[in-house]
Structure 1
């Protein structure tokens, strides 16, 4: 489960214009209030975009003005014109963006900083954690757009170097002779061929990052993304040959003066900040411009390398598999990892033709790892070398031991390729020759990592909406309440859970019933309410299911069909008119989109609904 987050929140605003409800000014007042709320929501939801655009715009124009007005670039401007300013300004933005694009991906460093820094610095780290994927995409889009402008500007520069060859100051030319083929000029220089290679890499990375490619061939997306490191290496060497020159003896040779024995031809009429100042007796001296790119790239590599070292250190030893349990299978399977194989008779994993009885099954793993301490809502990365050395899949920690045994629990759906193979290896393990114990594959765990779900429990009114296995972040919070006997700042907790089959409810039924009875034990009967919806099956099938007899508390709360979100949100708006409501949604993109829409409608109506989402990607 990869976490991506959006937030839509605002505070109700009252505009006092002296208009009575029945007066002619009332419609005008209502219109102003609605417009203000829409503006407030738009600013809050796009705050990161506004800040980033403002930052790159400032960098762009600061660099643009430097190359347009500074005297040391006078003679180069005479040849290249505005193309020089555009190419250098976009280069500055690319340098900054290449440094920033790796920061949201350094999850290990962000996790360490989150735990070590004082609380007043948690805001910056929290933004990188909560909006990590969104920021990464935003920075990457900036690199792509500015790279297009940068490449086009240099194509124009190559043509200008060829067409406006300077006979008076030969050292400043990139062309070897007047009229040199611009394409040949690009291919024979280091900036030219490295630039072409970087453009090809960007095109490939952009195509591999499309949603349709990610869904159909995730491995291509994952492995191709490592080419970004090659892109950064090429960026270091791209400007090092120094084809662009600048003047260094400005005091001895004032730019724009009439140098002896020169024709003073203006290659391109271009407005300059000062006129000619007479005759100079010293020729201009040009040196290659110093590159700043390597500083940005090495800083990015340093952060990424440090993060990689921390990851390798945390992944150095395999986690100990304590127990395995398969939920939702035709035959219940539960095994102690240390028990002999004869005691763990597993069901056959060969489904009938055209049918997959394990489509909705869930594998529960109890693992132990030294030093493992996780907060509710955090997730870990799981790797099985026997399946793939490079694939690390994120899973929410549903429970973590408070004692010293460092055990924790994960729940994995088995609908995907990787999880399907892992299920087979765990449920039908091979037996070693030296003992009768099952030979389970080694599992490596990296984490835990921060997620937006850690915010659950920080609002007085919390609404948790889950789709299928999206219940896991909320189960983690429920288990924390039960084990710590502490509901934090929560006064009311609502759960709406939509599942395709009733077997998913059975997987986590014990967690929900335990929370319900714990709240009753603490004399808080109104603290926790739940609505369960099953989208497949008839009421008769549900009643006849053994789940009905085993979990009467939950069975009476199950409804067939999908929730009426409009009705539910109207009820919540009526009950919590002046209170801030935190709405957490975890599930398919369609569910998150629907919940976000209703939160947006409630916000525009003046209610304080904050929306947080976690989605599967």
Structure 2
């Protein structure tokens, strides 16, 4: 059953993942075989298999660099989500994959890092070999009985179309020139590669969970170094230092490689002619870069639209509620917005789930003050004072969104399971409000017949701001004769002492819960999901 359920839920995900792997493997193989062909025989003879490996990794890097921007184009994701919703042939299993956008973004990022390491290491050894070849070092050990061909290629003081070794130096007659590192850095591919490596190191190291949670601003700033990443990707291949041979018909490699001293003399073996490699990265990256620029323009335009802070509410447990209004703002239950407060930072945008529902005349977010930015926001909103701040004196805020999440599909099912932890309950505040108001308005189109709501809280204070709404929904559904519509299960994982435990025990027989004051009792500890899912499955066959 578990395997069958996994296939039903994630079969399309596995198919898409497999296609992505096939695309990577196929393109890697194609480019690898291209550089194993006669067109690159002489440069491959000098370097070895490291050339084909490096170039194949670079090609797959281009493919993944194209893909990595698309999952973070939120308006593009929202557009496809809307197209899927209006297209009856587009199943929910297809829409669900759009909710994996950040997972795919991270997967592609890991792939880029692995490919970059392989590409860089391979080219480091390649350039070391070319440098030694230019300086006539370790020739016998490297080329053995083909030393004559190696010497011929090293004597490449040909016209512009004849050189093959990019290591040139200032005085090739002396076998000298610049040192190895400087020879590499002066090339376009060299210095742009160094910048790419530094940018990737900064972006990857600052994207770890610890940095994201503890030093979000550091993560935000370094992640925007992707601008330099793409700039360097576009110029990295402009030097064209890996050259291909263009006179293979006249210069028969199968014959000429064995008689290098007869080149230019034997009519079968004219001097080889090479041309610069052409950059290919722009072919892959221009379209996603254009889409991302369009995405940013749309988000910038929306962020400049005026937002009115209509109310600031201080809730227990350091929770701050902001109620706002914005012309033309339309949302669905469970969606989220990005919020910026210019008086704190002009560059920082933070995502928050909407806790209001479309039926209300405003939109709101509940923010728990746990970090530097949220604490500063509470301060400028006057939440750290006893007296409320007049709305005319509140700072301005900018809003970008709303953007969709998986939870907006809840109304397309007959039974739904909602699971939230701590402040992560906020999307279900919007959903439950919307269910409540739809039932008040007697909307017969409401397909939803049963909601199982699970809320796992770390301490007793976390209940305070949300339990009032649960109580109101519970009473309303009971009045409508639908008391079994909402079955909520609140789990308290810690935060009680011996005195509280005794009080809970003594009030066990009371009609209302000792902690929340609600009709349904609080559970203590963590949910046993296997048992819960089995029970719900039995209650809702099919």
Instruction: Using structure 2 for the length normalisation, give the TM-score.
Output: 0.81
Cα distance, 1:448 vs structure 2: 0.4
Matched, 1:561 2:529: no
Deviation at 1:127, TM superposition (A): 5.6
Distance 1:192 1:482 in 2: 62
Please provide the CA RMSD for this pair. 3.5
| Whole-angstrom distance in 2 between the partners of 1:497 and 1:52 | 36
The 1:243/1:426 distance shift into structure 2, 3 A limit, reads same
1:141 corresponds to: 110
Q: Structure 1's 312 and 179: CA in aligned 2 closer, same or farther, altered over 3 A?
A: same
Q: SS of the residue aligned with 1:394?
A: strand
Q: Does 1:229 align with 2:227?
A: yes
Contact kept, 8 Å, 1:382 with 1:395, in 2: the verdict is yes
Change (3 A) 1:185 1:491: same
The answer to whether the aligner puts 1:172 opposite 2:164 as a matched pair is yes
Separation in structure 1 between the aligned mates of residue 223 and residue 536 of structure 2, nearest angstrom: 47
Distance 1:370 1:437 in 2: 18
Q: Give the structure 2 partner of residue 347 of structure 1.
A: none
Moved more, 99-108 or 163-172: 163-172
Work out which of the residue numbers 237, 245, 248 in structure 2 matches 1:250.
Answer: 248
Distance 1:318 1:9, change over 3 A: farther
- What pairs up with 1:84-233 in 2 under 5 angstroms? 84-116=51-83, 119=87, 120=89, 126=95, 129-162=98-131, 163=133, 164=150, 166=153, 167=155, 170-176=162-168, 177=172, 181-233=179-231
The Cα shift of 1:552 comes to 11
Q: Is the CA contact 2:196–2:232 (under 8 Å) kept in the aligned structure 1?
A: yes
Structure 1 pair 122/101, CA: closer, same or farther in 2 (3 Å)?
Answer: farther
* Local SS of the residue matching 2:366: strand
Answering whether residue 419 of structure 2 is matched by residue 465 of structure 1, we say yes
The Cα shift of 1:42 comes to: 9.2
CA distance in 1, matches of 2:323, 2:534: 40
CA distance in 1, matches of 2:392, 2:532: 53
1:375 and 2:375 aligned: no
Q: Could you tell me which of 355, 359, 365 is aligned with 1:402?
A: 359
User: Is 2:495 the partner of 1:536?
Assistant: yes
For 1:179 and 1:156, the matched residues in 2 are separated by: 19
Render the CA deviation track for 1:211-261: whole Å, top value 9, x for unaligned. 232233221111110112101111111110111111223333344443999
Cα gap change, 1:555 to 1:484, in 2 (>3 Å):
closer
CA distance in 1, matches of 2:513, 2:397: 34
Secondary structure of 1:152 counterpart? helix
Contact 1:90 1:149 in 2 (8 A): yes
Q: Distance in 2 between matches of 1:374 and 1:427?
A: 27
Q: Number of residues paired by the alignment?
A: 494
The 2-side partners of 1:280 and 1:423 are apart by 82
Contact 2:313 2:322 in 1 (8 A): yes
Which one has the bigger strand percentage?
1
Alpha-carbon distance between aligned partners in 1 of 2:189 and 2:451, rounded to the nearest angstrom: 59
Structure with bigger helix share is 2
Pick aligned residue for 1:524 from 464, 469, 482? 482
Partner of residue 272, structure 2: 284
Offset, 1:577: 3.6
Q: Describe how 1:185-584 pairs up with structure 2 within 5 A.
A: 185-258=183-256, 262-263=260-261, 279-280=267-268, 282-328=270-316, 360-402=317-359, 407-427=362-382, 438-485=392-439, 486=443, 488-534=446-492, 535-537=494-496, 538-539=500-501, 554-559=517-522, 561-563=524-526, 565-566=527-528, 569-577=530-538
Q: Is the 8 A contact 2:338 2:349 kept in 1?
A: yes
Task: Judge which range, 417-426 or 312-321, deviates more.
Answer: 417-426
Structure 1 contact 158–185 (Cα < 8 Å) conserved: no
Judging changes above 3 Å, is the alpha-carbon distance between structure 1 residues 372 and 288 closer, same or farther for their aligned structure 2 residues? same
1:72 lines up with 2:24 in the alignment: no
Please give the alpha-carbon distance, in whole angstroms, between the structure 1 residues aligned to 2:347 and 2:94.
27
Q: Residue 96 of structure 1: CA displacement? A: 1.0
Secondary structure class of the residue paired with 2:430: helix
Equivalent residues of 1:257, 1:279 under 8 A apart:
no
Residues 554 and 454 of structure 1: is their aligned pair in 2 closer, same or farther, counting only changes over 3 Å?
farther
Question: What CA distance in whole angstroms lies between the structure 2 residues aligned with 1:116 and 1:555?
Answer: 41
What are the Cα deviations for residues 540-581 of structure 1, in whole angstroms up to 9, with x where unaligned? 66799xxx9999994342436324x23x64254145249579
Shift of 1:149: 1.0
- Gaps in structure 1 of 5+ consecutive residues: 1-7, 13-36, 266-277, 329-359, 582-617
Greater length-normalized contact order (CA 8 Å, ≥ 6 residues apart): 1
- In 1, are the aligned partners of 2:309 and 2:391 still within 8 Å (CA)? no
> 1:22 maps to what in 2?
none
Q: Answer yes or no: is the 8 Å Cα contact 2:13–2:97 preserved in 1.
A: no
Which whole-Å CA distance do the structure 2 matches of 1:411 and 1:383 have between them? 15
Displacement of 1:48 in angstroms is 5.2
Q: Quote the Cα distance in structure 2 between the aligned partners of 1:479 and 1:157.
A: 63
CA contact (8 A) 1:9 1:41 kept: no
SS in structure 2 at match of 1:466:
strand
How much has 1:147 moved relative to structure 2?
0.8
Query: Under a length normalisation based on structure 1, what TM-score does the superposition of the two structures give?
Result: 0.72
Give the CA deviation at 1:102. 1.2
The CA deviation string for residues 409-457 of structure 1, in whole angstroms up to 9 with x for no partner, is 2111122222222222223699xxxx98640000111000111222334
* Shift of residue 521, structure 1, vs aligned partner: 4.3
CA distance in 1, matches of 2:401, 2:62: 30
1:336-378 deviations in Å (ceiling 9; x for gaps) = xxxxxxxxxxxxxxxxxxxxxxxx1322221111111111111
Distance 1:521 1:375 in 2: 26
CA spacing shift, 1:84–1:528, aligned 2, 3 Å: same
Q: 1:301 to 1:183 in 2, by over 3 A?
A: same
